[in-house]
């Protein structure tokens, strides 16, 4: 049995902030060569696609994990203490990556064919996410597990996200004579008040409660400090449930803004489908009494489901510890996650009867 704590610790000790994943990718590639001799894998940039030999008569299950982290806090400790493994990425998500490696080590024991994807660039801008450029070249999969931190609960679906710029116009003037202008910041106050007072909207899908929210997250002008601004821009971040579209959310924002401002979309991340009704998932949930929750944030699950690959988030890390200055993960969660996924791959997945 692979030592998941030691493996996670080794992964965490290798610094891999976004765009600097080469060393951790090298480590995983070397591990595959040593522990899985003859198992084919390919490298794209600092991402690995691992495809153990397939039997062809059983479900193909994809395992997905990003190998980059946010930059570590200067105060971040390393090591294992009191049942916790400390380090940047310990929860998000090198503990999940270690579990993926442990499952690959056991691939001959399972009643499923595995495909594993270790990818870089997840924590940065979407254009740098390696999975984005790998999707069209991935082999067929019947289901996928994204080992993002979930505390060993199934987190189904994921929220969509939109950033839109709300641009309020005014009239420029000298700040010593403001009556000669029209302050775009003041003109934006009704919009900001509406956003402030907008309640979260509960959306229930497959019994799971998602909460749609619309928030002002950034604001700016481009004028000098002694000039009444003639333009004020507000970045509005919209998080929306898997049963809604970006077009519907844009319509809601335009309705809220009315004729007070112009709206332009900066970027969109589509939501991820809720797949807990899939036969494999329902059987696993029932057998292991798994907790099922909605994924209120966005993950690459959305990328998979939009390409027709049903998926859930399930990993050993703690979502509440992600990106924290003192990030850690529970040691016990590693073995538990490996055990639960082994049950899925051994008892729930079965060879085809045809």
CATH number at residue 206: 3.30.70.360
Please answer whether residues 59 and 143 qualify as being in contact, where contact means their C-beta atoms are separated by less than 8 angstroms.
Answer: yes
Residue 280 phi, psi dihedral angles, 5° rounding: -65, -40
Residues 315 and 260 in one domain: no
Burial of 31 (0-12, 13-18, 19+ CB in 10 A): middle
Instruction: Give the total number of structural domains in the chain.
Output: 2
Provide the pLDDT for residue 352.
81
Return d(Cα 116, Cα 76) in angstroms, integer: 29
Residues 196 and 212 in one domain: yes
Which of 210, 244, 269 delimits the end of a domain?
269
Residues 310 and 342 in one domain: yes
Task: State whether residue 208 is helix, strand or coil.
Answer: strand
Residue 353 maps to a domain: no
Return d(Cα 147, Cα 66) in angstroms, integer: 9
Mean pLDDT of all residues belonging to the chain:
96
Residue 319 maps to a domain: yes
Residues 173 and 237 in one domain: yes
Task: State whether residue 283 is helix, strand or coil.
Answer: helix
Looking at the annotation, which residues are catalytic? 68, 122
142: confidence class by pLDDT, cuts 50, 70, 90: very high
Residue 202 maps to a domain: yes
Helices 95-105 and 4-13: angle between axes, nearest 10 degrees: 130
For the record, the structure tokens of 94 come out as: 């090198």
Q: What is the mean pLDDT of residues 293-298?
A: 94
Residues 151 and 179 in one domain: no
Tell whether the torsion through CA atoms of 273, 297, 166 and 222 is positive or negative: negative
Residues 254 and 289 in one domain: no
Residue 35 maps to a domain: yes
For the record, the structure tokens of 293 come out as: 């929750």
Give 264's strand partners.
165
Q: Taking Cα atoms as reference points, which of 106, 123, 139 lies closest to residue 24?
A: 123
Give 261's strand partners.
none
Residues 180 and 119 in one domain: no
Q: Which contiguous run of DSSP H or E holds residue 161?
A: strand 160-169
Residues 309 and 212 in one domain: no
pLDDT in tens, 153-196: 999 999 999 999 999 999 999 999 999 999 999 999 999 999 99
pTM across the whole model: 0.90
CATH number at residue 127: 3.40.630.10
Please answer whether residues 114 and 63 qualify as being in contact, where contact means their C-beta atoms are separated by less than 8 angstroms.
Answer: yes
Which of 269, 289, 312 delimits the end of a domain?
269
Residue 180 maps to a domain: yes
Provide the pLDDT for residue 354.
59
Q: Taking Cα atoms as reference points, which of 129, 230, 242 lies closest to residue 187?
A: 230
Q: Using the predicted structure, report yes or no on whether residue 353 has a pLDDT greater than 90.
A: no
Which of 227, 243, 269 delimits the end of a domain?
269
For the record, the structure tokens of 30 come out as: 């070397």
Strand pairing class (262-269; 311-313): unpaired
Residue 354 maps to a domain: no
Residue 64 maps to a domain: yes
Q: Taking Cα atoms as reference points, which of 253, 46, 286 lies closest to residue 162?
A: 253
**Which residue segment(s) compose the domain that 185 sits in?**
160-269
């Amino acid at each position: 049995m692979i030592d998941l704590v030691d493996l996670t610790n080794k992964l965490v000790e290798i610094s891999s902030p976004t765009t600097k994943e080469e060393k951790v990718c090298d480590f995983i590639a070397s591990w595959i060569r040593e522990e899985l001799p003859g198992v084919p894998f390919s490298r794209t940039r600092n991402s690995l696609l691992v495809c153990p030999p397939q039997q062809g008569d059983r479900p193909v299950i994809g395992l997905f994990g990003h190998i980059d982290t946010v930059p570590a806090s200067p105060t971040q400790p390393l090591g294992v203490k009191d049942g916790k493994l400390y380090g940047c990425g310990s929860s998000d998500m090198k503990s999940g990556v270690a579990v993926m490696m442990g499952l690959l080590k056991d691939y001959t024991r399972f009643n499923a064919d595995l495909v594993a994807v270790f990818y870089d660039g997840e924590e940065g801008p979407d254009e740098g996410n390696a999975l984005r450029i790998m999707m069209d070249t991935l082999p067929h999969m019947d289901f996928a597990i994204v080992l993002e931190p979930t505390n060993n609960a199934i987190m189904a679906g994921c929220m969509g996200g939109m950033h839109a710029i709300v641009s309020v116009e005014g009239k420029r003037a000298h700040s010593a004579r403001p009556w000669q202008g029209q302050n775009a910041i003041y003109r934006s106050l009704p919009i900001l008040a509406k956003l402030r007072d907008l309640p979260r909207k509960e959306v229930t899908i497959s019994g799971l409660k998602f909460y749609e929210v619309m928030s002002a997250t950034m604001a700016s002008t481009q004028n000098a400090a002694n000039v009444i601004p003639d333009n004020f821009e507000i970045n509005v971040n919209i998080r929306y449930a898997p049963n809604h579209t970006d077009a519907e959310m844009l319509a809601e924002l335009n309705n809220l803004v009315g004729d007070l401002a112009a709206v332009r979309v900066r970027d969109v991340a589509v939501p991820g489908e809720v797949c807990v009704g899939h036969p494999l998932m329902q059987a696993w949930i029932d057998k292991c009494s798994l907790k099922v929750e909605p994924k209120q944030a966005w993950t690459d699950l959305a990328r998979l489901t939009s390409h027709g690959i049903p998926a859930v988030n399930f990993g050993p890390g703690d979502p509440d510890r992600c990106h924290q200055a003192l990030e850690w993960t529970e040691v016990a969660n590693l073995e538990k996650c490996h055990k639960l996924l082994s049950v899925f791959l051994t008892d729930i997945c079965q060879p085809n009867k045809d």
